[in-house]
Structure 1
Amino acid sequence: MESSERQLRAQMGFFHDLVRKLAAQGDPYAKVLTAPDNPYPAYEEIRERGALYRSPLGTWVTTDHEIANQVLREKRFGVRKANGEKVPEFMNFDNSMLGLDPPDHTRLRRMTMPTFNPRVADRWRGRAEKICHRLIDDILATGDRFDLMTAFAHHLPTAVIGDLVGIPDEDRDRFHLLSREIVPLLDGVVTYEKARGVDAAIAGMTELFARVVARRRADPREDMISRMLPLVDEGRLTMGELLPLCMFLPLAGTETTVNLIGNGVLALLRHPEQWRMVAERPELAEGVVAETLRHDPPVQTYRRIAHEPVELAGVSLPVDGELAIVAAGANRDPKVFTEPARFDITRANRNDTLSFSAGIHYCLGASLAKFEAEVAYQALISRLPRLRQAGPVRRRGSFIIRGMREFPLSVS
C-alpha cells in the first residue's frame, strides 16, 4: 500500500511539474491548468492557435463556439474511454451521471429529471426569496462588513437543494462541511493530499446519505430520495447508483449556483451603471444571470473523449483522443458575440452560451441555478443598495470552477 501511495504521489507531482514547465514555455493550455486568477488571456492565446489546438500535454483544446457546441452534442464523444473505462486524471465521479455515458447515463438522467423539471423547480422561488431576505437580515445584524461567499452565496443553494433532494435540516451542516472537502474533485485534483482528502470526504458523505436514505424510507416526503427509493425496490436502480446521485447532484448544483451568484455580484459592482439598471428594473436580474453565465461562467471547461476516429476542423482525432472544451472561451468567440469581453446585461444573444454544457450532459439543474441567482441579485440590490467591495477577492485556484473563496463587502 505504501509503495502504491508513493507511486501515486510521484505521478501527481510529475504532472504538476510538467504543467508548470510547459506553461513557462508558453503553452496556453498549460497556463490554463495552473489556474491563474484571470484565465481569459490564455483562452485568447488558444483561439489564436486555431479552431483546434493540440497542447504538448497531448490534449486537443478548443475555444471555438461552433466546434465546442458540436462536440458537446456529438454522440461519438463521451466522458469515458471508448471501452467504458474511467479517465484517471483530475476527476472521477464513479457511478454519478457526471461520469457516465449512455446507456447508464440515459437511464439515471430519466429517473432524476422529475426533481429538476423547470416547472417543479420554479415552485421554490418563494422559498428562495425568504432565504435570501433572512440571510440579509443576519448580515445587517452583524455589522457593516461581511463575506458574500460564506455569509450568503453558500447558504442559499444549500438550503434549496437540501429541500429538493431530501436532506434533513439537522444533516445540512454536515453535508456542507463534507461538500467543502469534496470540492477539489470539481476543481480538478492535482495533488496527492487533495486526493486523499476527497476520498475521506466521500466516505463520510456515503455514510451520511446511507442514514438519510434509511430515514426517508421510513418517512417518505416530496423529495428526490423518496421518489427514487421505489425504483430501488423495483430493481430499476441500485443503492450503489442512488448514493452517488445523492452526493454529486447536490454538490454540482450547489457549486454552480454559489459561483454564479458571486461572479454576477462582482461584475455588477465593477459596472455600477448596470447595478443601477437592475435597481430601477428588477426584471433585468434575468439578464444579469444570462450575461454572467456568458462573461464569467462558474464552469469553465468540459472534457470529452473520442469513442471512434473523428475528423474535426481538419484534424484527425483517434479513439480515446481527449478534447478540452473551454466553454468560457467559446462564450467569448467574436464570431458569435459582438465585443465579447464587454459585460452587458442587455446583450441580445446572451443566451447562446455553453455554460451548462449541451446535448445529453446539459445541466439538469440549470433552471434551478438561474432562478436562485436571479432572486439573489434582486434581494441584494434592493436590500443593500450601497453595497461595495471592501477588500481583495481570493480565488479558489481552479481551472474548472470559476469562483471566489472570499469576497469581502461593505453595506455602506
Structure 2
Amino acid sequence: MSSQPDTSLARRATRPARSWATWALAHGIGKAFLTVGARRGDPLARLMADPSLNADPFAAYERVRAAGPIVKTKLMSGTASHAAANQVLRSADFGVGSGHGELPPLSRRVLSRIVDPDALGPMDPPSLLAVDPPDHARYRRLVSREFTARSVAALEPRIVEVAESLLDRVAGDAATSFDLVDAYASQLPVAVIADLLGVPEQWQDDILAWGNDAALLLDPSLSWRDYRVAEVAVRRLNAWFDDHIAHLRADPGTDLLSRLATMSGDEQLDDRELRGVGLLVLGAGFETTVNLIGNAVVQLDAHPDQLAVVRERPELWPHAIEEVLRFDSPVQMTLRSAYADVDVGGHVVSSGEPVVLFLGGANRDPDVFDDPHHFDVTRENANEHLAFSSGIHYCLGAGLARLEGAVAVRTLYERFPDLRVASPPTRRSTRVLRGYESIPVSAGVSRALRVA
C-alpha cells in the first residue's frame, strides 16, 4: 500500500457560495439567535453562546436544573437533570435529526441537498452521530466488534508502548517543561487510532491537525471564519480517506478500515460510507481522549490530596478517570429531536421539538452524586455519569478512551512524580468539547527515569 496518499481532492474548488449557504443554515442563523438570546439572559442560549461561561459553566447548569427537569425558553428546550437526560438519550421517541435536530425539518432537507459531498463532517450523514435506525444499527454493528471489551483490552500493551515512547522523547529533551497536549495527550490517541485505521506514521501529524480543526464542526454556532477553517480541514480529511480507502481495497492490511473496505454482499459499504466510518472512528477514539487526559492532569494538579490517594492506591487509576469523566466531562452537551409527543419528568416535549442535553450539568446532579462539586477519586458511583452519552448512541470508543486515559495518566505520573501544571492552561473555545489547547507542565527537579 502506498504511504503517500494523493490529497488533490482537497485542492478542488470549494464553491464559496455553497459553503456560505451551508454555514448560514447549519450555524450562522442559529448563532445569531443564540447570541441575541444570550445577551437577553436566556439561560440555555448563554450556556451555548456566552463566552464568559466557557471556563466555568457549572453554576449556570445548576440554575437550569433548579428550574425543572425540562426548561423551555423562547429559543429551545434543555435539561441539566441526569434523569431527564438519560430518559431522552435512551428513548426511541428521540433521535439525532440527521445531525441537525435543532433545525426545522424543511431546513434539514435543504441542508442535505446543498452540503458539498467533499465537505461532509461529523454531524452529516452517514456519520453514526447523524443517523438513526436502521442505518445506525447497520453501521454500528460493522464497527463495534473492534471496540468490544476483549478487543480493547488487547490494545493495552500497545497503549503502554506508545505512552512510554512519548515520555522517553520528553525525558530526553534538555528542558524540564513541555506542553502536555502537544507532546503527549494528543499524540497517544492518534497513534492508537492510526493503528485501527491503517494510517501510515508519516501522516499522523497531518491527521491530528486536520482532526483538531474539523472537530469545530461539532459546535452548533460556529462563526464563518471558524467554519471555513473547519471546512478546509474536513475536506482534507475526506480527500485523504478517499485515497487511503482506494489503496486499502487494492492492498488491504489487518486494520478495521481494511476489513470494512473489502467486505462484500449486503454488508458492503460504499466509499462515502467508509469515509464516514473513518471520520467517526477518528473522532470517537481521539477527541474525547485528548480532552480526558488533559482534564485529568489539570484536576489532579488542582486536587493534590486526590493525586496522593491514587498514587498510594494505584488500583484506583480507573476510578480516577471515571471521576474526571463525571466532574469535568470532555463532551459537555448533545442534542436530540423529539419524534413524538413525549412526557419527560412531567413536561411534554412536542414532536419536532429539539432538546439540548447538558451532560456536564447532568454529571453533577445531586440526585445521583453526593456532594457533586467535590472531586473524589474514590467515588463509588462515578461511572453513572453520562459523559459518553447513553442508549443506542453511547460512545463507540468509550472503553478505549477509558483505557487510554488510565494508562496515559498513570504512566505520566510514574515517570514524572513531581509533575506540576506550570502556568494557567489555555482552554479550547469549543462548547461541545471541553478541554485545553495547551497545558504547560513542569516535570520538576527529580525527572524520573523509566525502570527497565
TM range (shorter): over 0.9
Q: 1:105 to 1:2 in 2, by over 3 A?
A: closer
Deviation at 1:61, TM superposition (A): 0.6
Q: 1:7 to 1:102 in 2, by over 3 A?
A: closer
Deviation at 1:405, TM superposition (A): 0.5
Counterpart of 2:143 in 1: which secondary structure?
helix
Counterpart of 2:263 in 1: which secondary structure?
helix
2:147 corresponds in structure 1 to 116
- Stretches of structure 2 that go unaligned for 5 or more consecutive residues are 1-14, 113-120, 445-452
1:104 corresponds in structure 2 to 135
Q: 1:140 to 1:365 in 2, by over 3 A?
A: same
Q: 1:5 to 1:234 in 2, by over 3 A?
A: closer
1:223 corresponds in structure 2 to 255
2:59 corresponds in structure 1 to 41
1:346 corresponds in structure 2 to 378
1:200 corresponds in structure 2 to 232
- Are 2:126 and 2:273, in contact at CA under 8 Å, matched by a contact in 1? yes
- Are 2:95 and 2:337, in contact at CA under 8 Å, matched by a contact in 1? yes
1:324 to 348, 352, 356: 356
Paired residues, number: 411
- Are 2:359 and 2:386, in contact at CA under 8 Å, matched by a contact in 1? yes
- Are 1:253 and 1:369, in contact at CA under 8 Å, matched by a contact in 2? yes
1:187 corresponds in structure 2 to 219
Counterpart CA distance in 2 for 1:397 and 1:183 is: 11
Deviation at 1:302, TM superposition (A): 1.2
Q: Deviations over 1:68-109 (max 9, x none)?
A: 111100000000159798486997332111110000000100
Tell me, yes or no, if structure 1 residue 409 matches structure 2 residue 424: no
2:85 to 68, 91, 116: 68
Report matched runs for 1:258-273 at 5 Å. 258-273=290-305
Q: 1:182 to 1:218 in 2, by over 3 A?
A: same
Q: Deviations over 1:219-250 (max 9, x none)?
A: 32221111112325656322221111112221
Counterpart of 1:351 in 2: which secondary structure?
helix
- Are 1:189 and 1:195, in contact at CA under 8 Å, matched by a contact in 2? no
Tell me, yes or no, if structure 1 residue 54 matches structure 2 residue 69: no
Counterpart CA distance in 2 for 1:132 and 1:6 is: 42
Deviation at 1:4, TM superposition (A): 6.5
Deviation at 1:180, TM superposition (A): 2.0
Tell me, yes or no, if structure 1 residue 292 matches structure 2 residue 301: no
Tell me, yes or no, if structure 1 residue 128 matches structure 2 residue 171: no
So what's the TM-score if we normalise by structure 1?
Answer: 0.93
Counterpart of 2:289 in 1: which secondary structure?
helix
So what's the TM-score if we normalise by structure 2?
Answer: 0.85
Q: 1:10 to 1:217 in 2, by over 3 A?
A: closer
Tell me, yes or no, if structure 1 residue 376 matches structure 2 residue 376: no
Which residue identity is paired with 2:369? F
Counterpart of 1:45 in 2: which secondary structure?
helix
Counterpart CA distance in 1 for 2:233 and 2:32 is: 26
**Range that drifts further, 144-153 or 184-193:** 184-193
- Stretches of structure 1 that go unaligned for 5 or more consecutive residues are none
Counterpart CA distance in 2 for 1:91 and 1:198 is: 11
- Are 1:275 and 1:381, in contact at CA under 8 Å, matched by a contact in 2? no
1:169 to 186, 201, 221: 201
Deviation at 1:207, TM superposition (A): 1.6
